Amino acid sequence: MGEIVSLEELAAEVQPGCKLAVPADYCGVAMSATAAIIANRPKNLHVVCVPVTGMQGDMLIGEGLVGTLETSAVTLGEAGGAPRFQDAVRKGSFKLMDATCPAVHSGLIAGQKGVPFLPIRGIIGSDLLKTRTDWKTIQNPFSDEEDPIIVVPAIQPDVSIFHAPEADRFGNVRIGRRRELLTMAQASKATIVTVERISEESLLKTEDSAAGVLPALYVTKIAVAPRGAWPLPLWGEYGVDTAEVARYAAMARTPEGFAAYMDGFARRLREAA
Amino acid sequence: MGEIVSLEELAAEVQPGCKLAVPADYCGVAMSATAAIIANRPKNLHVVCVPVTGMQGDMLIGEGLVGTLETSAVTLGEAGGAPRFQDAVRKGSFKLMDATCPAVHSGLIAGQKGVPFLPIRGIIGSDLLKTRTDWKTIQNPFSDEEDPIIVVPAIQPDVSIFHAPEADRFGNVRIGRRRELLTMAQASKATIVTVERISEESLLKTEDSAAGVLPALYVTKIAVAPRGAWPLPLWGEYGVDTAEVARYAAMARTPEGFAAYMDGFARRLREAA
Amino acid sequence: MPGYSNRELIIATIADLLDGIRHVAVGASSPMPAAGAMLLRARNEIAKRERVRISILGSEEHNFFTNGGVELFDCTAQGRVDAFFLGGGQIDGEANINLVGTGDYPQTEVRWPGCFGSAFMYYLVPRVILFREEHSPRVFVPKVDYISAPGVSDGIVRPGGPHALLTGMALFDFDKQKKRFSLRSVHHGYTAADVRAATGFDYDAPENVPETKAPSAENLAILRGRVTEELSESYPAFAEMLRGERKEAA
Amino acid sequence: MPGYSNRELIIATIADLLDGIRHVAVGASSPMPAAGAMLLRARNEIAKRERVRISILGSEEHNFFTNGGVELFDCTAQGRVDAFFLGGGQIDGEANINLVGTGDYPQTEVRWPGCFGSAFMYYLVPRVILFREEHSPRVFVPKVDYISAPGVSDGIVRPGGPHALLTGMALFDFDKQKKRFSLRSVHHGYTAADVRAATGFDYDAPENVPETKAPSAENLAILRGRVTEELSESYPAFAEMLRGERKEAA
């Protein structure tokens, strides 16, 4: 648990057809690892976005590696819509499981708690239910009146992956206030993490640092990847590279432009590190 | 929100008949505040123990202030059984809602999430169900086979109370890894907290300290109470006063001994501070 | 010249729509709602009225949540979020909103990002303000192509819903019983006929539609001073734009 | 003299019962299970076998959880806790356990603390070891007065349950199909007849009941050295007692 390996070894955990959970841009996206995963070309991934995605999801879609996309939104933020996603939606290139943010959280919490489902308010009357036939409406067993409520099934990813500022040599990972990373990791069978650096001292050493830690118990493999979220931001470390994301947004409008962008992406990652 | 007041003003939040949530001994028990609450004699409290209690619960029972006790256990730890609890159980002095720890957590998480219930595995076949008629068995809506599962209703305390090392002057409270305090506070209508000290600097200032903070948004009132958990321990600050708890355990065996102990309790709290 | 810009009018209107709330959550990319909330906070402070708490989602500095992305939703379900803003690629006359796309789902011709938290927040926040600057028939349609979240619901627990619809042109109230918008006022520079022409759905309107209440001199002063300062921390580009517009107007 | 104390035998037996696990959770007031787990951890390390992780609940130093009191239960439901120890004021022949009290519930004559997490952990941890040092008819009863958690369940999801029953006198296996204990071995100094007399419930037993496997010299050395050292951090009083017993025996 919490073994420190190379980026390549880490990326090999993502096998074809696996259910892969990825975080939102503000939580630390493992972009270096994404390039390493793409190099392995694992097809037919079921990507669960916690609860949304951006460039990472768009890249995996553009590379044709996504069989199912479960997400509450895909956007490049200020750079606009996600072009490969939009194109693939139009073409029906993958199975689309549109969601709403709290339902993704509830599904993962059900996974974390080992229960088959969690109830959630709202949603009834939304067209989400037309395709999310995996969400069911039940009568609230605690109400004597008619009180329909949605139950969403547990989400149990095979692998979850994110990028964090720091791990210690015991395999504990600093996640700060990004508690969804803990939920995601606990709900997943395996969790792989890239970090800016490895700390010699245990992150569990003080009460303050321990409060923001994902324990090694839930961490399968860790790889060091300096500036591993680039061009996306990493909380407490660096901001988004707006120009680079805009460059991606512009180039990815066509399949050819996307291919040209991806051609140099791994190289630019190395330069940025 | 997060107003800093006197111990007396804080204690006045606990009104007769209210549902009061209290934490386990390892989470920081507001013992000074308990003495101040006892002085007000709020009768018929429904005490929800998160998920167990010790001396605090035993004292409230001994004082005849408990109408309902919802708990997974009552124990004085190394000092043995809780004598006023045991005596009151024999006499049937209050309504007893025996629970099991994870069910208390699930009930509070349901309260935190504003859903009417949460499912939980286990429990079926336990005699807990004979009296916990508020827990229901339903068919897992996601299984085609017969798959009964327990659902526990949301717990929404009127007031939750605990003792913590530190609050800042903005009303944020340091809870470290004691995440059940956050769940408890979010599930409760009001939360009152005693602390060892007030920090001038915001606890949200750094990522590390922010990770272990209950935000002021969920905190109703705060009072300073140095050594406010005594004779119980406070994590990261001081250990249990074993001799004092043993003294309580011995004296509280009889109603007279308990009365004698309580007579001097508030005074000794002041001395210990 | 009315002495204020259209943006300033919208911000002041948002502050009025939020009046009475204690806690509002706004998106990190939603400067106008944030500005309105900051204006309310500032003027309440001056008038010694109730404190207004603003959670800027996704912000590292102005985010008072410590429990991850789920906290906004939990906090909302606890009844601790009084107001929220929602938009939509399409909004129809029954206040249904569409954040997904146009055409036949799932292979929509135009695809927007997705529902985000709308299919939850719209149901649970007591005062949801529908806000969309662009006021055109392609946004305000007779019937949305996809219901991300419905304007009204029958037979379910739904403490929240639409409170008003604010655009660059006008302000509407929403009647949950009638399931219809009614035009409350038209912003300076537009007429009731402009609004009717730019709106694809039918709505009620009084015979004489008043002009949207102009921001008071005091409100404008607070907005141009303290609020613009506060905005430059989280929304520097927007604060610069406001300053720019002001110079042009002067 | 067998060259080891009864406590040392129990600790070594616990280590054997835990063999093969990766993660065990033990209570802060349960030194014997902790000692057994530490012995397994130490000897696996020496033999370069799988790493054993020990979570000491309630401990500030040896607690690797960061998500509050709920984490033990979530972690268990995720299948990440391989073994756990449960006791009981009463345990019956069907492995039902009673942590609540004797007599008619709720006004029980003798009241124990309560169920704690037993009504969950007993169902979900694959290898639950029932451990109670006192071996007497008042503990091992024909039928418990209150079922905190049943030994076996039909028709529900239950990946966990009783693996063995260990007492100060003997070691039993549990057969989930037959819903019965069977005596595996008797500790040095006791006979099969002693166990039968001290047990209030019926159980199976082989014709010749073997003696519980004595701890090897190597195990005793690890236990008396490194494990006693490790124990003194979290269980100083217990470590002292072990040292004392050893001197007496010497």
Domain holding B131, by residue range, is: 117-153
CATH numbers and ranges of domains, chain C: 6-249 (3.40.1080.10)
Of A116, A176, A235, the CB nearest to B119: A116
- Same domain? A207 vs A250: yes
- Does residue A110 sit within a domain? no
pLDDT interval class at C249 (50, 70, 90): low
Is the pLDDT at D165 greater than 90, yes or no?
Answer: yes
**B141: chain A residues, CB-CB within 8 Å:** 117, 136, 138, 151
**Residue at A248 is within a domain:** yes
Provide the residue type at B183 as one letter.
Answer: T
CA distance A271 to D79: 42
Residue B207: band (very low, low, confident or very high) from pLDDT cuts 50, 70, 90: confident
pLDDT for residue A19 is more than 90: yes
Q: Partners of A68 in the beta sheet?
A: A46, A95
Please report, as a single letter, which amino acid is at residue C22: R
DSSP state, residue D233: H
Using a CB-CB cut-off of 8 Å, the residues of chain A touching C122 are 122
β-partners of residue B162 are B193
Which residues in chain D are contacts of B78 at CB distance < 8 A? 29
User: Could you give the ipTM of this predicted complex?
Assistant: 0.97
Q: Which of A86, A248, A249 is nearest to C100 (CA)?
A: A86
My answer on whether B262 and B172 are in the same domain is yes
Cβ D122–B122 below 8 Å, yes or no? Answer: yes
3-class SS at B260? helix
Give CA–CA dist A184/A136, Å, rounded: 22
Residues A130, A38 share a domain: no
Band the pLDDT of D249: cuts 50, 70, 90. low
Query: How many other CB atoms are found less than 10 A from the CB of residue D238?
Result: 19
Q: What pLDDT, in 10s, does the model give residues A151-198?
A: 999 999 999 999 999 999 999 999 999 999 999 999 999 999 999 999
Q: Give the whole-angstrom CA distance, residue B234 versus residue B23.
A: 12
As given in the structure block, the two tokens for residue A62 are 């553009």
The residue among B74, B121, B137, B149 with the most chain D CBs within 10 A of its CB, best to mutate, is: B121
* Cα–Cα dist C125/C228, whole Å: 27
B interface mutation test: which of C66, C73, C76, C120 has the most B CBs within 10 A?
Answer: C66
pLDDT tens-digit series, residues D47-78 = 999 999 999 887 777 788 999 999 999 999 99
Same structural domain for residues A91 and A138? no
Which chains does C contact via 3+ CB–CB distances below 8 A?
Answer: A, B
Q: Is residue A15 part of a domain?
A: yes
Mutate to test the interface with A, among D52, D74, D82, D120 (most CBs of A within 10 A): D74
Q: What backbone phi and psi angles, to 5 degrees, belong to C219? A: -60, -40
Q: Do B186 and C78 touch (CB under 8 A)?
A: yes
Q: List the D90-92 sheet strands across, edge first.
A: D97-98, D90-92, D140-141
Bridge-based pairing of strands A136-139 and A148-153 is: antiparallel
Q: Looking at beta carbons, which residues of chain B come within 8 Å of D121?
A: 122
Task: Give the model's pLDDT for residue C250.
Answer: 61
Nearest to A116 among B115, B140, B175 (CB): B140
Residue D215 identity: P
CB contact under 8 A, A77 and C114: no
Q: Is D90 helix (H, G, I), strand (E, B) or coil?
A: strand
- CB of C79 less than 8 A from some CB of B: yes
Instruction: Report the chain D residue with the minimal C-alpha distance to residue B73.
Output: D114
Nearest by CB: A122 against C29, C114, C120: C120
| Contact residues, chain C, for B218 at CB < 8 Å | 80
- Are residues A148 and A82 both part of a single domain? no
Sheet with B148-153, side-by-side order of all strands: B117-120, B148-153, B136-139
Residue A183: give its domain's CATH number: 3.40.1080.10
CB atoms C66 and B1 under 8 Å: no
Q: Is residue A107 part of a domain?
A: no
Provide, rounded to the nearest whole percent, the portion of chain B with pLDDT above 90. 93
What is the pLDDT at residue B145? 95
Asked if C touches D (at least 3 Cβ pairs < 8 angstroms), the answer reads no
- Pick the closest to residue A266 from A39, A17, A29 (CA basis): A39
Question: CB–CB of B74 and D66 under 8 A?
Answer: no
- A148 shares its domain with A169: no
| Cβ separation B100–D107 shorter than 8 A | no
Task: Evaluate whether residue A267 is within a structural domain.
Answer: yes
Q: Are A149 and A121 in contact (CB under 8 A)?
A: yes
More confident residue, C52 or C233: C52
* Rounded distance between C-alpha atoms, residue C186 and residue C166, angstroms: 10
Q: Which of B13-22, B171-180, C231-240, D149-158 has the lowest mean pLDDT?
A: C231-240
Q: What is the per-residue pLDDT for B270?
A: 83
Sort strands D170-175 and D162-167 into parallel, antiparallel or unpaired: antiparallel
Q: What is the pLDDT of residue C29?
A: 80
Q: Do chains C and B touch (3 or more CB pairs under 8 A)?
A: yes
- Chain A positions touching C81 (Cβ under 8 A) are none
Chain-chain contact of D66 with A182 (C-beta, under 8 angstroms) = yes
A45/A88 same-domain check: yes
DSSP class of residue B17? T
Give pLDDT tens digits for B131-142. 999 999 999 999
The DSSP symbol for B98 reads E
What CA–CA distance (Å, rounded) separates C13 from C223?
12
Asked whether residue A11 is assigned to any structural domain, the reply reads yes
State the CB neighbour count (10 A cutoff) for residue B19: 18
Per the rule left: phi > 0, alpha: psi between -120 and 50, beta: everything else, D53 is beta
Take residue A234 and report the two structure tokens written for it. Answer: 């990493």
In chain C the first and final C-alpha atoms are separated, in Å, by 10
Chain C residues with CB-CB distance to A26 below 8 A: 58
The verdict on A146 and A20 lying in the same domain is: no
Residues in chain B closer than 8 A to C73 (CB atoms): 113
* D with B: touching (≥3 Cβ pairs within 8 Å): yes
Task: Identify whether A105 is part of a domain.
Answer: no
CB B161 within 8 A of CB B193: yes
- Asked, as a colleague might, if the bond just before B102 is cis with ω within 30 of 0, I would say no
The predicted pLDDT at position D59 comes to 76
Distance CA D17, CA D125 (A): 14
Question: Do A199 and A168 meet the contact criterion of CB atoms below 8 Å apart?
Answer: yes
- Number of domains forming the structure of chain A: 2
Are residue A183 and residue A235 in the same domain, yes or no? yes
* Residue A201 domain-assigned (yes or no): yes
Q: What is the 3-class SS of chain C, one letter each residue?
A: CCCCCHHHHHHHHHHHHHCCCCEEEECCCCHHHHHHHHHHHHHHHHCCCCCCEEEECCCCCCCCCCCCCCHHHHHHHCCCCCEEEECCCEEECCCCEECCEECCCCCCCEECCCCCCHHHHHHHCCEEEEEECCCCCCCEECCCCCCCECCCCCCCCCCCCEEEEEECCEEEEEECCCCEEEEEEECCCCCHHHHHHHCCCCCECCCCCCECCCCCHHHHHHHHHHHHHHHHHHCHHHHHHHHHHHHHHC
Distance CA(D14)–CA(D35), nearest Å, equals 8
Phi-psi region of D179 (alpha: psi -120 to 50; beta: other; left: phi over 0): left
Could you tell me which of D50, B175, D68 has the C-alpha nearest to residue A215? D68
Task: Check D64 against A1: CB less than 8 A apart.
Answer: no
Q: What is the pLDDT of residues A119-145, one digit of tens each?
A: 999 999 999 999 999 999 999 999 999
Q: Which of A142, A152, A155 to mutate to test the interface with B (most CBs of B within 10 A)?
A: A142
Residues A143 and A264 in one domain: no
Q: A83 with A186, same domain?
A: yes
Retrieve residue D229's tokens. 């050292």
To which residue do tokens 């979570």 refer?
Answer: D55
Q: In what order do the strands lie in the sheet with A136-139?
A: A117-120, A148-153, A136-139
Distance of alpha carbon A82 from alpha carbon A163, whole angstroms: 21
The contact set of A with D (CB < 8 A) is 1, 112-115, 182, 186-187, 204, 210-218
Both A136 and A263 in a single domain? no
Average pLDDT over residues C218-246: 91
